[in-house]
Chains A and B, each alone.
Chain A
């Protein structure tokens, strides 16, 4: 519980506290803030959507009811469509390229791009590269033809699934496991840590290591709240955020690799693509870029591509 006189920092997120990359980072941030800023600030973490889900948390932040959140990047396309960059398929070749882009001027610029609408990005938190799973083997894009895929609300992801001939479907996250198992939907896309954490691999024919996209989070706060902090409190807080981010992001590759190995150990099938197969996926999915180039900005895409080299 917070003492009188401490700045209360409420952090609402949607995962567990001890296994998910975001939850672990949030817990680490909580521990460090409460130890090092004792007397000045106090952080309360609300995990598992107990306080807000991802659709509502940004509204609540603009209202001043919560101070920190870390929704996935696609949630910010309501604020500026530039964030659609991160959903475009095969934009980044691996998580290092993502890291490079996010550290570039263009990437840092996105953190400040929503100030007009009241949000300040603080840091990118990695989950990892997305893989694709389905009720049958996916080796060529044509294998996905006619399958129903569960997707998040995102124009880009809908267009991506339609590009491979799939039918995008929306449903509550708590129903996805059952829906995959019973065949209400045939497949889904996610990072290794989510596929392992939610046990999706148990109810799928297999997972194909496509690395076709990313799931990352944006640690975000409200401009008004950040401005209201005393300078020394703000500086110390931002310093802790930066250190936690660096520490956890370094782990992300290892976390996902461990999750992948756990999937294999638990009997899940993992398929890799040959360079030719991968090229076929790129060829089918990449036209999606053109559709959203205007939203994202050609310069932004160029900056992202530069990070792949």
Chain B
């Protein structure tokens, strides 16, 4: 009963415009002061432990930073050129290329909205120029952008791994096949629509263009090798991989692409060579572009992690009150089987996704449902992927959907227009969610093959 009051308080506070972090934190504090023996000091301790006690979360700022350098440093436009060269000549080619570019950028970035901004900014404009409707372009990018959290690296997966203490590396591997599958399904859907509606197709630019665009994009795409190869080749822990990725992205953006930092020039003129200006090696460290990117990434880290830290306070309060045990007992007493359970998880996440920032929601829901999942013999990695795909769908369903907001902003369209535009592709993702939920193999085969069978060590 008290717990229902707690969640009601959170929702009311959210709706009157209180920041998510404060809504979660304050409701938890009031609940704790009113119904338990714990002190305010214990809340402060939990707040600091959010960082001190969760080494895993440390990967998040580094992935955000890597992604920021990549976006600023012009890797997006090179990836897009490469994907147009590869698939632009198919019916619906530019749209398919947009999906392909989102998939590649998703492999560099841990966030869905970042993927929409980076790819959408360029591709939506390009698609309009060759004759697609704005709606179609927005619908494609809005959906494909959600792959940002399914294709590794993924901030949401890091949060899940931290919340239930599974290996981040395993989660990342688990996202690979579902990510590719989701991307291919979207491409297939576009191809069918293109045939049917006779959508424009581009010119085949030849192998030469593929080669030279690949060469250009390769510096950015090498980051995938560093992240995934570094983790599975035994060079880094996932957190270290993220930090190395950030340093690498800075080097590429500043010294190779030279679209930011001391070697960048205004407009279309060629950027300065490092040999002409070797002092850049030093000045790049504190160049305004470097500082601004660090600050922007820092700001994003602050806002996301402040939500997560307060969600961890709520998690602590719920644990302290033994709520997960009670839910587990109740659900098992009612005879919930795995199927009913997974349906329930999907529904909770889809509803919760309307109010909450995805990673904050995950911090709260994962510990509540994890013990039941273990009782029912559900693979923790599989459960994680189901949750991630749910988050993806939450991002493109009204009234609150992160990617809907971002796409409407990027494309300059009203929200409702984006919602309508995204609808046909949303159906694809829904079908995909059902497949991923009931075919655990898709999620678990790769991590099990590479890292051996999952051991539930808890």
Contact = CB atoms under 8 A, between A and B. Distances in A.
Contacts of B324: 50
Size category of the binding interface on chain A: 35 or more
Interface in A36-68: 44, 46-53, 55-56, 59-60, 63-65
A201 to B, nearest CB: 12
A1 B42 CA distance: 22
Nearest to B166: A174
A53 B166 CA distance: 15
Contact of B237 (A8, A65, A171, A198): A171
Contact of B451 (A65, A181, A198): A181
Contact of B53 (A47, A55, A182): A55
Contact of A65 (B38, B52, B170, B458): B38
Interface stretch (B110-118, B119-127, B227-235, B254-262): B227-235
A175 B233 contact: no
A178 interface: yes
A46 B45 contact: no
A46 B42 contact: no
Contacts of B320: 51
A64 B45 CA distance: 13
Contacts of A1: 322
Contacts of B52: 55-56
Contacts of B234: 179, 181-184
A77 interface: no
Contact of A50 (B38, B367, B455): B367
B49 A56 contact: yes
A1 B326 CA distance: 9
Contacts of B41: 63
A183 B56 CA distance: 19
Contacts of A203: 452
A63 B233 contact: no
Contact of A178 (B45, B53, B55, B451): B451
Contacts of A56: 45, 49, 52-53
B453 to A, nearest CB: 9
Contact of B169 (A8, A46, A55, A178): A178
B451 A60 contact: no
B167 interface: yes
B375 interface: no
A53 B49 CA distance: 9
B364 to A, nearest CB: 14
A177 interface: yes
A197 B458 CA distance: 9
A202 B457 CA distance: 14
A179 B231 CA distance: 9
Contact of B233 (A55, A64, A179, A182): A182
B35 to A, nearest CB: 13
A184 B319 contact: no
B316 interface: yes
Contacts of A59: 45
Given A60-B42, A183-B234, A202-B452, A51 B316 contact: yes
A203 B322 CA distance: 36
A184 B165 CA distance: 19
A172 interface: yes
Residue of A1, A184, A197 with highest tally of chain B CB at under 10 A: A184
Nearest to B53: A53
A177 B42 contact: no
Nearest to A174: B165
Taking each of B53, B168, B233, which has the highest tally of chain A beta carbons within 10 Å of its own beta carbon?
Answer: B53
B45 A175 contact: no
Interface in A1-59: 1, 8, 16, 44, 46-53, 55-56, 59
Contacts of A49: 165
Interface of B: 37-39, 41-42, 45, 49, 52-53, 55-56, 161, 165-170, 231-238, 316, 319-320, 322, 324, 367, 451-452, 455, 457-458
Given A60-B45, A182-B235, 19 more contacts: A1-B322, A16-B458, A46-B319, A47-B458, A51-B320, A52-B49, A64-B39, A65-B38, A171-B237, A175-B167, A175-B168, A178-B167, A178-B169, A178-B170, A181-B234, A182-B169, A182-B231, A182-B232, A203-B452
5 contacts: A49-B165, A174-B167, A175-B238, A182-B234, A184-B237
